[in-house]
Amino acid sequence: MKYNQETVDILVRHIKGGSTITSACDAVGINKTTFYDWMKTKPNFSNAIKKAQSIPNKKVEKALYKSAVGYLTTVAKYQVKGPKGEPQTKTIKKKILPNITAMIFWLKNKMPDEWKDKQDIEHSGSVITYEVSEKFMPKKGKGKKN
C-alpha cells in the first residue's frame, strides 16, 4: 500500500483507540516493517503516531493512578418526590478502595530509586577459596542410584 493521508488517518485512529501497531497495520494492510520505515523517513507521520500513542497511554496512567489511590464513583441516580411533590434526584455513591498492586506498580515505576526490589549489598573483608582435589569429587556415572 502506498503512503497517503487516508492510510495515516486510519492508523492514527486505531492507535488513538489503544490498538497495537500490529493490529493497526493489519487494519490498513501494511507490514510492520513499512510502518517503521515511515516512522523513520516521514517526520509528519512519526509525530502524528507519537501523539496518537500518548492518548491511550495517558488514559491508562490516569486509571492506574485512580486505582492506586482509590476514588468515589456514582453507582446510581434516581428520582424521588420532594416535600412539596417536586422531583429530586438522589445519588448513590460508592467508595472504591485503593488497590495495593496498583500502588506498588506506580511506586516502582515512578520512584525506582526508592522502591526497587533489588537490594545492593556491600561486602567488606576477604573471601577465602579452597581447592578440592579431584579424588574427592564424584565420578560421572558412579553416583548412588535410589
102 within domain boundaries:
yes
22 within domain boundaries:
yes
Q: Are residues 52 and 100 in the same domain?
A: no
Q: Are residues 84 and 35 in the same domain?
A: no
125 within domain boundaries:
no
Domain holding 44, by residue range, is 1-61
What is the model's pLDDT at position 145?
A: 58
The total number of structural domains that make up the chain: 2
Query: Can you tell me whether residue 66 is helix, strand or coil?
Result: helix
Place of cell 488514559: 59
Q: Are residues 44 and 91 in the same domain?
A: no
98 within domain boundaries:
yes
Average pLDDT of span 51-55: 96
141 within domain boundaries:
no
25, 44, 61 - which closes a domain? 61
Q: Are residues 34 and 8 in the same domain?
A: yes
Name the residue with higher pLDDT: 103 or 136.
103
What is the model's pLDDT at position 81?
A: 87
10 within domain boundaries:
yes
Q: Are residues 36 and 9 in the same domain?
A: yes
137 within domain boundaries:
no
pLDDT in tens, 104-146: 999 999 998 888 887 677 778 888 887 877 777 777 765 555 5
Q: Are residues 41 and 96 in the same domain?
A: no
123 within domain boundaries:
no
Banded model confidence at residue 50, pLDDT cuts 50, 70, 90? very high
pLDDT in tens, 3-38: 999 999 999 999 999 999 999 999 999 999 999 999
Contact 29, 68 (CB under 8 A): no
What is the model's pLDDT at position 30?
A: 96
Q: Are residues 37 and 74 in the same domain?
A: no
Q: Cα separation of 108 and 46, whole Å? A: 30
Name the residue with higher pLDDT: 126 or 52.
52
Q: Are residues 50 and 103 in the same domain?
A: no
What is the model's pLDDT at position 131?
A: 80
Q: Cα separation of 106 and 112, whole Å? A: 9
